[in-house]
Amino acid sequence: MSVYRVRVCDVVSTAWRATSHTAPVDSFDLAAEFAHFYPPSDAQLPTPLTRRVLARGHVSVGPGGAARAGEDPNLGDVDLGDAVRAEVVLFGLPVPVGQVVAAVLLDFDADEIAYTPGSRVGEVLAACVDDRLLLDGRQLPDLVADLALLVKAVDSGTGVVSPERHTLAFVHGDGAPVPGEPVVASLLYARHVALRPEFHSLRRPASLNRAEGEYAAVSRHASFLYEQPVEVENSVLLTTVQAVATSGRFRQIWYEAQQSVLAFQNQPQSSAASAQAHDGLEWMGDLIGNLEFDLAVNVEATSDVGLGSASRQIEDFHHDLYEAMRIPERSRTVGQTFTRLKSSLEAELIAIDTRERARATVSIEAIASLLSVVGFPIFFILAYLGVNAREVDGDVSMFSLRYWPVYTCAALLSVFALVLMFRRPRTRGRRR
């Protein structure tokens, strides 16, 4: 007779986005369980959109279980048979704006909680973390695409970005003792872990480890909760959906930034290199500003604010989960990268503007000098010939050799203007 009742929740980010036309298409048990969270804070909680229930026997584990590096070679694939009931739920989130997250809920019984050959708990957890779970013989993204189209979500075009995921294991032992920490660490890390703490970095949320017989541990890719109330489990699931959505949006932001920088670096250079560089740098600065705003609102803010009533009683779990997934640390690093990149772009724009102003100044001076070379002699000649004086005979052509002294003076003025025009750039160059 099975001793443990287990629910494994594999929460995965997707490339789909909810729009104004996206709405829940049906109601189901899980949505009803979440209903009491929504009245006070429905503007910030994940909303269950739709689900698909798979019949028993339609869940399997893909190949590669024994080939994972560093794993116990005795722990191979397990035939789940008819033991596992599966349900895929799609969530839409207001923050990060429009993010869609999928959660695979697997319910089954287990005789033991251990990381040993044939361990159903160990293999299901490892299959979720390693993305080897097959539902109706299909990968999860294919099933998610069907559900997303059903609720009128749209593809964001970031499907090439690796999804973020976190797996939850909710276990009820019906009076059985709490598993030891080495066992839990081995399950969460999918390999045998020594007892010494330096071999693992489990986080223990205080609020979920207070009562006798209760246990909770959080790692980077999975969390283990033992004998927790249903309300706590629902809160943990909602917070995990939020964390995975936040981390998924972070990956998309970083991917968009990388692709934009590559596109800017690889664009062909035109003859108007300066103007093109100026326009390209302005475009990059505008894009980085938008991504920085997206990072602040959809990543950093959710790390600090949480989910209000849904995470109030598990606030330390919320912070431990975000720290374990390194969301604050990664967002700070990328935020600093954006700040440095914006500073570099601003410096480049200032340098380009300075060079353009210098070239414009040189052009204006050249035009002024040219006008001086041509204009002063002409003005001198016309002024001389136009005066009412004895030296000017109206019956004599202006091209007569009689006026050679006037033309000589005009030529000397042109030479003087030319000397000044060529001497000025050399003087400016020596000063620089």
CB 303 within 8 A of CB 322: yes
Work out the angle at residue 152's Cα, subtended by the Cα atoms of residues 148 and 156, and round it to the nearest 5 degrees: 65
Q: Please, are residues 372 and 421 in contact by the beta-carbon 8 Å criterion?
A: yes
User: Parallel, antiparallel, or unpaired: how do β-strands 99-110 and 85-92 relate?
Assistant: antiparallel
pLDDT, tens only, 10-64: 999 999 999 888 888 776 666 666 666 655 445 577 888 999 998 888 888 877 5
Q: Give residue-wise pLDDT tens across range 62-92.
A: 775 444 444 444 444 455 666 788 999 999 9
DSSP strands (E only) in 195-246: 215-218, 222-226
| Res 177 pLDDT > 80 | yes
Residue 383 and residue 393: Cα distance in Å, rounded?
Answer: 14
Closest alpha carbon to 322 in 244, 269, 256:
244
Q: How confident is the model at residue 161 (pLDDT cuts 50, 70, 90)?
A: confident
360-386: average pLDDT? 66
Beta strand spans in 156-281 (E): 165-172, 215-218, 222-226
- Which residue from 222, 193, 227 is spatially nearest to 210, judged by alpha carbons? 227
- What is the b/e burial string over 264-285, where b = at least 16 CB atoms within 10 angstroms of the residue's CB? eeeeeeeeeeeeebbebbeebb
Q: What is the pLDDT of residue 201?
A: 76
Which two three-digit tokens encode residue 90?
A: 């799609």
* CA torsion, ordered 350, 356, 358, 362, to nearest 10 deg: 180
pLDDT of 322 higher than 60: yes
Token pair in block for residue 17? 């986005």
* 157/252 Cα distance (integer angstroms): 10
278-314, pLDDT tens digit by residue?
677 777 788 888 888 888 877 777 766 555 545 567 8
- More confidently predicted of 44 and 149: 149
Of the candidates 335, 336, 306, 334, the residue with the CA atom closest to the CA atom of residue 322: 306
Q: Of the given ranges (49-63, 135-149, 393-407), which has the lowest mean pLDDT?
A: 393-407
**Dist. CA 113–CA 391, nearest whole Å:** 121
Mean pLDDT for the chain?
Answer: 78
% pLDDT > 90, the chain: 22
pLDDT, tens only, 184-214 = 888 888 765 554 555 567 899 998 998 888 9
Structure tokens at 143: 């099933």
Q: Give the residue carrying structure tokens 């986005």.
A: 17
Whole-angstrom Cα distance, residue 407 to residue 389? 17
The structure's pTM equals 0.75
pLDDT the model gives residue 200: 62
What angle (nearest 5°) sits at the alpha carbon of residue 237, between those of residues 231 and 238? 90
In this prediction, residue 403 carries a pLDDT of: 66
